[in-house]
Amino acid sequence: MGLVTPARLRFPEPLALASGGVLANYELVYETYGTLNAEASNAVLVCHALSGSHHVAGYHSEDDKRPGWWEHHVGPGKSLDTQRFFVVACNNLGSCFGSTGPASINPATGRAFGPDFPMVTVRDWVESQARLADRLGIRRWAAVVGGSLGGMQALQWAIDYPERVAHAIIIAAAPKLTAQNIAFNEVARQAILTDPDFHDGRFYDHSTEPRRGLRIARMLGHITYLSDDIMREKFGRDLRGGKINFDYQVAFEVESYLRYQADSFVGHFDANTYLLMTKALDYFDPAGNTDGRLAAALAPVKADTLVLAFTSDWRFAPARSREIVKALHDNDLNVSYAEIKAAHGHDAFLMPIPRYVEILRSYMDRVSMGLAT
Amino acid sequence: MSPVRLDFRIIGDWIKPQSRVLDLGCGDGSLLAYLAQSKGASGYGLEIDDAHVSECIRRGVNVIQTDLDAGLSEFDERSFDFVVLSLTLQAVRYPDRLLREMLRVGTEGIVTFPNFGHWRARWQLGALGRMPVSAALPHEWYSTPNIHLCTLRDFERLCKREGIEILESQVVDHAHRRRLALRLFPNTLGEIALYRFRRARLP
C-alpha cells in the first residue's frame, strides 16, 4: 500500500455510552486508502479486533519494519481494492493507538483517565464510527468489514444503521462470547489487575506499567489464537538449546514463542486498554435485548452479508458463525457463508490463505458491481 | 448465452414466480441463478464443496457451506416454498430423512436423480455383471459418491411409505432431452428423473 499517514478528528459533541457514562468529547484517529468517489458510494469501513488499530495497510515511514495488520487484503488490486474502494479504518475509543483512551488526558482532571475511562461497548464504537462517517461525508458504506471483534462491529453496524450498510462482511466472529471465552478473558484481566504495578489503573502516575500481567494476558491470548495442530506443526516439542537443562529458562520453542509475543506486546499496548477491550468482547450480545433470540435482534438488518469462519478456529468456532448465518436467513436476508480450511486457528483471519483471499475478492467484486447500479 | 439445461427448465416451470427456494447441494449455483433470473426466485443454496461455494459467491448466489448429512435443523418449518434436491439424493447418507426434512422446511419438494433402472444400467448389471457406468453415473463403484442409487419405482415406493404425495414427474435422457418413448417407458428409458411432491394431506 506504500506510505500512509494517519488522520485525527476531534468530536466536541458528548457521546452517551451504553454503560451510562458519557465522553464529553473525544478524538478518533483513522487511516484512509484510495479515493472517495463523487457519489461517496465506494467507502468500505474496516473494523479492528482486540489488539488492532487503524493501521490496516501500508507503512508509516520508510524504515517501518512491518506493514498494517491487514496488508494482505487492502491495497491496489487486492481483495479490498483501493483502486475501486475508499477504505477507512478507525481506531476505536479506549484504544492506545491514538483515539481517546485510558492513557489520554481527562479534561476534567488534567491527568490520564486511567480507571476513570468509561467502559466502551461495540455499540459505542459503532456510534462513534457513524459520527466519523458523517464527518467524512459517507452516508452509506458499500461494506463494513471486520474479523473477530471487528466482525462483531460489522454485525452491530448492520443492526444499528440498516440504511447505512450495503454489505457486512463478518469474519471469524461470534454473536456473543461463551462462558469459556469469558473465562479466558477473565484470567487475562486478573493477571493485569493483580500485578502490583497496576496501581488500580493509575500506573501512568507511577511511571510504570503492569508488565507481568500484560505479558501473561498476551501469552494466554496467543494460545487461544492458535490451534493445537499449528502449534504442533510450528513448535512441536522442539528444544530451544537442543537439550533440557532442568531449570526455568526457556527449554521448548513454544515457550520462546510465547515469551517473544509477550515481550513485543509490552511497551506497545496499554494494560487499561486490554481490560476495556476484553470487557467489550464479554458484553457483546445483540440478542441481549430480545430474550436471547438473535433472529429478532437482527430483524432491522437490511445489508447483504458474507460470513466467513475457519475450520481450526476454536476461539470463535465455525458453529458460532453459523448462529449468525441462521439469524440472517431466518430474516430472509441475503447471506453467504464459507468455511475456510486453515490450520492457523483464530489467527487465520489475518493470514493470506488463498481461498480466503479469493472469496473476499469475488465478494468485493459483487459489492463493486452494486456501486454502478 | 448457453442453452438452459432441460432439467433446469422443467424445475423452472414447476416453480411459481417470486418463490422462496432452498437448493440442497446447489453446486456452482447455476440453478438458483437461473431461477432468480427467470422466476424472480430467491433463497439459498447449500453446498459442501469449496470450489462450488466460491463459484456461488462469485455469481452472487446466496450459498451456505454445509454438509447435507448434518440435516436441515437450522431451518425453521415452512421457511421455503420449494426445497430442491438436484442430482444429490443418491449421494446423501440418509435419503429418507432428508426427504422428510425437505417437507418440514418447505411446502413442496423437487427431487431429481439418476435412474438406476435405466436399460443401460440394467444391461451392465444384468448381462455384463458389472456395476453400471454411464453419462448420468460416470463413477466407478469404488470411487463413486453415489451411495444410495434407486429406480423410479423405488423412489415412488419410498414416497408412499413416507406419506409423500407426488404432484408431477418427468424423465429425461442424459442430454436432458424429453422424447415420446421416455414417456411410455420412463423407468427403462429415463436417465434422469424429476419429481415434484408435497406432504400428503390426511384423508
Catalytic residue among A128, A148, A312, A321: A148
Task: Note the pLDDT tens digit of each residue in B51-99.
Answer: 999 999 999 999 999 999 998 999 999 999 999 999 999 999 999 999 9
CA distance A4 to chain B (A): 31
pLDDT level of residue A106 (50, 70, 90 thresholds): very high
Confidence of residue B179 (pLDDT cuts 50, 70, 90): confident
Q: Region B169-177: what's the mean pLDDT?
A: 80
CB contact under 8 A, B65 and A339: yes
Please enumerate in sequence order all residues whose Cβ is within 8 A of that of B70, keeping only pairs 6 or more positions apart, or say none: none
What number of CA atoms fall less than 13 Å from residue B88's CA on the CB side?
23
Question: CB-based contacts of A107: which residues, under 8 Å, 6+ apart?
Answer: A24, A25
pLDDT at A372: 61
Determine contact: B64 vs chain A, CB below 8 A: yes
Residue B1 predicted with pLDDT over 50: no
CB contact under 8 A, B53 and A338: yes
Structural contact between residues B59 and B28, judged by C-beta atoms closer than 8 angstroms: yes
What is chain A's mean pLDDT, rounded?
A: 96
**Confidence band, pLDDT 50/70/90 cuts, at residue A61:** very high
Active-site residue A346, yes or no? yes
pLDDT of amino acid B3: 63
A48 is catalytic: no
* pLDDT score recorded for residue B181: 79
* Section A177-186 average pLDDT: 97
Select from B58, B64, B75 the Cβ nearest to the Cβ of A337.
B64
Residue A87, pLDDT > 70, answer yes
Interface of A with B in 308-367 (CB under 8 A): 322, 325-326, 329-330, 332, 334-339, 341, 355, 358-359, 362-363, 365-366
Q: Is the pLDDT of residue A92 over 90?
A: yes
Question: Is A313 known to be catalytic?
Answer: yes
Instruction: Decide if B54 and A362 are in contact by the 8 Å CB cutoff.
Output: yes
pLDDT classification of B6: cutoffs 50, 70, 90: confident
Residues in chain A: 373
Give mean pLDDT, residues A175-183.
97
Under DSSP, is residue B58 helix (H, G, I), strand (E, B) or coil?
helix
Closest C-alpha among A227, A259, A260, A236 to residue A346: A227
B27/A257 Cα distance (integer angstroms): 42
Does A360 score more than 80 pLDDT? yes
Average pLDDT estimate for B155-182: 88
Within 8 A of A335 by CB-CB distance, chain B residues are 44, 62, 64
- B20, B54, B61 member nearest A359 (Cβ): B54
Would you call A143 an interface residue with chain B, using a CB distance cutoff of 8 Å? no
A153-166, pLDDT tens digit by residue? 999 999 999 999 99
Instruction: Give the residue carrying C-alpha cell 411432491.
Output: B197
Residue-level pLDDT at B185: 86
Q: Is B50 on the interface with A (CB under 8 A)?
A: yes
ipTM of the complex, rounded to two decimals: 0.94
To the nearest whole Å, the CA of B79 is away from the closest chain A CA by: 8
Contact A362 B76 (CB under 8 A): no
Q: What is the pLDDT of residue A308?
A: 98
Q: Quick check: B63 contacting A, CB < 8 Å?
A: yes
Check pLDDT > 90 for residue B183.
no
Partner-chain contact B65 A329, CB within 8 Å: no
Contacts of A342 (CB under 8 A, 6+ apart): A310, A311, A312, A313, A348, A351, A353, A356
- Which pLDDT belongs to residue A271? 98
In whole angstroms, what is the distance from residue A255 CA to residue A247 CA? 13
**For residue B2, what pLDDT is reported?**
53
Average pLDDT of the residues in A28-44? 97
Residue A302 in contact with partner chain B when CB distance is under 8 A: no
> Mean pLDDT over residues A133-145, rounded?
98
Residue B159 and residue B143: Cα distance in Å, rounded?
Answer: 28
A219 band by pLDDT with thresholds 50, 70 and 90? very high
Report helix, strand and coil shares of chain A as percent, to nearest 5.
40, 15, 40
Cβ–Cβ of B20/A332 closer than 8 Å? yes
Longest dimension (CA), chain B: 48
Find the mean pLDDT for residues A204-223: 96
Share of chain A above pLDDT 70, in %: 99
Q: Mean pLDDT throughout B137-162?
A: 95
Range from A83-87, A97-101, A287-291, B188-192 carrying the lowest mean pLDDT: B188-192
Q: What is the pLDDT of residue B203?
A: 63
Name the pLDDT band for B5 (thresholds 50, 70, 90). Answer: confident
- Our CA-based measurement puts residue A33 at a distance from the nearest CA of chain B, in whole angstroms, of 24
> Is there a contact between B50 and A355 if contact means CB atoms under 8 Å apart?
yes
